Amino acid sequence: MTARFDTYGVMVTGAARGIGEATARRFAAEGAGVLVADLDEEAARRTASAIEADGGRAVGVGCDVADSAAVGEAVEVAVAAFGTLDVLVNNAYSCSERRDGFTDERDEDWQRDLDICLIGTMRCSRAALPHLSAAPGRRGAVVNIGSVNGLSYFGNHSYSAAKAGLISLTRSLAVESASSGVRVNMVAPGTIRTPAWQGRERVLEAAARSYPLGRVGEPSDIAAAVAFLASQDAAWITGITLPVEGGILGVNLGFMEALQQVE
Please name the amino acid found at residue 240.
I
Beta-carbon contacts of 257 under 8 Å, excluding residues fewer than 6 positions away, are none
pLDDT recorded at residue 215: 95
Cβ(9)–Cβ(81) below 8 Å: yes
pLDDT-derived band at 256, boundaries 50, 70, 90? low
DSSP letter, residue 117: I
Q: What is the pLDDT of residues 45-63, one digit of tens each?
A: 999 999 999 999 999 999 9
Catalytic residue among 8, 93, 153, 159: 159
Q: What is the pLDDT of residues 2-49, one digit of tens each?
A: 789 999 999 999 999 999 999 999 999 999 999 999 999 999 999 999
pTM of the model: 0.94
pLDDT recorded at residue 97: 81
pLDDT-derived band at 173, boundaries 50, 70, 90? very high
DSSP letter, residue 192: B
Q: Which domains does the chain have, with CATH numbers?
A: 9-262 (3.40.50.720)
Between 164 and 263, whose confidence is greater?
164
- Give the three-state DSSP class for 125: helix
pLDDT-derived band at 259, boundaries 50, 70, 90? low
Catalytic-residue membership of 153 = no
pLDDT recorded at residue 138: 95
Q: What is the pLDDT of residues 108-142, one digit of tens each?
A: 999 999 999 999 999 999 999 999 999 999 999 99
pLDDT recorded at residue 255: 67
**CA 245, CA 154: separation in Å to the nearest integer?**
13
In order, the DSSP letters of 36-56 are EEESSHHHHHHHHHHHHHTT-
Mean pLDDT of 239-246: 98
pLDDT-derived band at 213, boundaries 50, 70, 90? very high
Between 72 and 196, whose confidence is greater?
72
pLDDT recorded at residue 263: 57
Phi, psi (5° rounding) for residue 246?
60, 15
